[in-house]
Amino acid sequence: MTHRETIQKRIEFEADPVRGSRFIGIADRAVSQSDAFTKLKEIRGEAPDATHHCWAWRISDHDTRCSDDGEPRGSAGPPILRQIESRGLVETLVVVRRRYGGVKLGVGGLVRAYGAAARAVIDAAEIIEIIKRTELCLIHDYESTRQVDSILRRWAHDQIDCSFGERVRRRILVEEDDATALIEAVRSSASDGIDIEPIE
């Protein structure tokens, strides 16, 4: 099975000040780029007077992005992203809000401060496991009900809808890695009165 982890719910954590500057880490789950942009906009709107809102997201292994938001190049966004990646998190957005304290930290100091703030908020967050699931539509004749029930008992699934018309129509959710095996089991069954297909 494919198991990945993410942030259960939004959390905010303020690290110790660094030479007067305050660094507030905010971590949340973001299931897509549009979701991440929406949450980033909300976070910025909560503190428009903050000096910087530096951030990074990792939606998947191949969908990552980060921003220094006006800090020296590479001093804020990449250290935040490294903390997300080091924990193997996906569907995750981390923002570090800085309130300038009057003392310049230099690039090295900023890298350490932003990385530490991101690490601290992730450490404080509740991490949950993501299990990818696929929705399937299973259609069968009434006389095939017992056979279908027998097949479905072999896989953990949730039935999200069942309608009764000329044939029985069930919509179910199964773990992504089990979907192919379930489809093959249905198609190889002796009955011609059972059909199953993924829902796009």
Please report the pLDDT score of residue 154 as a whole number: 82
Mean pLDDT over residues 136-158, rounded? 83
Looking at the predicted structure, is the pLDDT value of residue 191 above 70?
no
pLDDT above 60 for 1:
no
Of 122, 5, 1, nearest in space to 60 by CA:
5
At residue 200, does pLDDT exceed 90? no
How far is C-alpha 59 from the geometric centre of its chain's CA atoms?
Answer: 6
pLDDT top residue among 60 and 57:
57
**Which of 27-31, 67-71, 145-149, 190-194 is the least confident region?**
190-194
Does 32 score more than 90 pLDDT?
A: no
Res 2 pLDDT > 60: no
pLDDT of residue 181: 84
Asked whether the beta carbons of 7 and 123 are under 8 A apart, the reply is: no
Residue 78 has pLDDT above 90, yes or no: yes
- pLDDT tens-digit readout, 88-101: 999 999 999 999 98
60 vs 155: which has the higher pLDDT: 60
**198, containing H or E segment:** strand 194-198
In this model, does residue 74 exceed pLDDT 50? yes
3-state secondary structure of 40: helix
Task: Say how far residue 76 (Cα) sits from the centre of its chain.
Answer: 22
Residues 28, 79: Cα–Cα separation, whole Å:
17
Q: Which residue segments constitute the domains of the chain, with CATH numbers given?
A: 3-130 (3.30.230.30), 133-198 (3.30.70.120)
Percentage of the chain beyond pLDDT 90 is 56
Which residues have a Cβ under 8 Å from the Cβ of 198 and sit 6 or more positions away?
A: 134, 135, 136, 137, 179, 183
Average pLDDT over residues 116-135: 91
Would you say residue 28 has pLDDT above 90? yes
Q: What's the confidence (pLDDT) of residue 190?
A: 58
Query: Worst-scoring range by mean pLDDT, 62-66, 112-116, 132-136?
Result: 132-136
